[in-house]
């Protein structure tokens, strides 16, 4: 991981959206819709040693700092740009070559000035023992569905689609052996080509209403009523519920060590930035170590 990414001062890729089940690419059973970003909330003047950080620059940067409110996003974006300018100035002060990529020069500065503490075996073990639930594979639902989409997005067509789904449930009569043929005949989802199969999907990656119904079903059971999502009405079959398992310490030890080292590096980098800012005139944001 790049040091700039850890500090969140370099424009990262947009936040990933929930993954759609591979057998249901039409969206019939996927994750929630992408969140709507907060409206812009421009604050006061921001500068460092007289170098102004413009409102337009902050507004562009805000997309990389999603937050609960526009004001919070603006504050984080402004801080990121001030930190970048502070480090850029420090690169120049230390005489780092100005003929290369600015990001590489800042990376080199941070590599030289900030050192993370290597965690001990005892520290890694303490994290594992105290947070065992974090090191656990997710529960899986091995399931299938039939998606009945309304022809139009109005009450009458939604009601008609529900009525069709209810008739299919009656025809299934609770018998899983009939599900594959019904899915191929009726389902609007591309998973119909795989007998409605959604494969094995981890808990948390299905739309809420669908996951809630799967939680309530017994293995081999078909939902007694259609389940509505924004895509249409779902008839669900839970084939199997697969419990997650505890990962052994040896399997996750290196990840724990990396996490602790990254945490240590971030704390030291924050202190380093605060020490640089203490000798500069920073207006509009707080760069204190906290």
pTM: 0.59
Residue range(s) of every CATH 3.10.50.40 domain in the chain: 140-242
Q: Is the pLDDT of residue 169 over 60?
A: yes
Please say if the pLDDT value at position 246 is more than 90. yes
Which fold does the domain 140-242 belong to in CATH? Chitinase A; domain 3 (3.10.50)
Question: DSSP code of 95?
Answer: T
Q: Are 150 and 158 in contact (CB under 8 A)?
A: yes
* Mean pLDDT value of segment 178-184: 97
Q: Which residues of 180-195 are buried (b: 16+ CB within 10 A; e: fewer)?
A: bebbeebbbbebbebb
pLDDT tens string 201-211: 998 888 899 99
User: In the structure, what pLDDT confidence band is assigned to residue 13 with cuts at 50, 70 and 90?
Assistant: very low
Q: Give 27-50 pLDDT, tens digit per residue.
A: 445 544 444 333 344 457 899 988
The DSSP line for 48-84 is ETTEE--HHHHHHHGGGS--SSHHHHHHHHHHHHHHH
First CA to last CA distance, the chain = 24
- Closest Cα to residue 141, out of 188, 205, 196? 205
pLDDT at 127 over 50: yes
Whole-number Å distance between alpha carbons of 287 and 89: 15
Taking the C-alpha atoms of residue 253 and residue 122, their distance in angstroms, rounded to an integer, is 11
């Amino acid at each position: 991981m790049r040091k700039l990414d850890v500090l969140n001062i370099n424009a990262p890729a947009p936040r990933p959206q929930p993954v759609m089940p591979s057998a249901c690419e039409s969206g019939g059973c996927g994750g929630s819709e992408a969140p709507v970003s907060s409206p812009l909330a421009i604050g006061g003047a921001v500068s460092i040693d007289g170098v102004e950080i413009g409102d337009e620059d902050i507004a562009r940067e805000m997309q990389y700092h999603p937050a609960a409110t526009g004001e919070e996003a603006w504050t984080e974006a402004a801080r990121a740009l001030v930190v970048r300018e502070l480090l850029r100035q420090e690169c120049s002060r230390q005489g780092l070559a100005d003929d290369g990529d600015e990001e590489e020069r800042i990376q080199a500065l941070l590599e030289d000035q900030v050192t993370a503490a290597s965690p001990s075996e005892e520290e890694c073990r303490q994290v594992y023992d105290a947070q065992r639930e974090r090191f656990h594979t997710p529960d899986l639902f091995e399931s299938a569905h039939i998606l009945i989409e309304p022809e139009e997005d109005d009450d009458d067509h939604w009601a008609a689609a529900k009525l069709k789904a209810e008739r299919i449930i009656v025809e299934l009569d609770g018998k899983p052996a009939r599900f594959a043929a019904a899915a191929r005949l009726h389902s609007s989802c591309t998973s119909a080509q795989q007998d409605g199969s959604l494969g094995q999907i981890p808990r948390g990656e299905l739309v809420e209403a669908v996951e809630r119904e799967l939680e309530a079903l017994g293995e081999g059971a078909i939902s007694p009523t259609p389940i509505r999502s924004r895509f249409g009405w779902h008839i669900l079959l839970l084939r199997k519920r697969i419990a997650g398992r505890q990962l052994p310490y040896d399997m996750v030890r290196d990840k724990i060590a990396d996490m602790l080292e990254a945490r240590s590096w971030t704390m030291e980098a924050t202190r380093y930035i605060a020490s640089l800012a203490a000798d500069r005139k920073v207006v509009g944001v707080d760069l204190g170590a906290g």
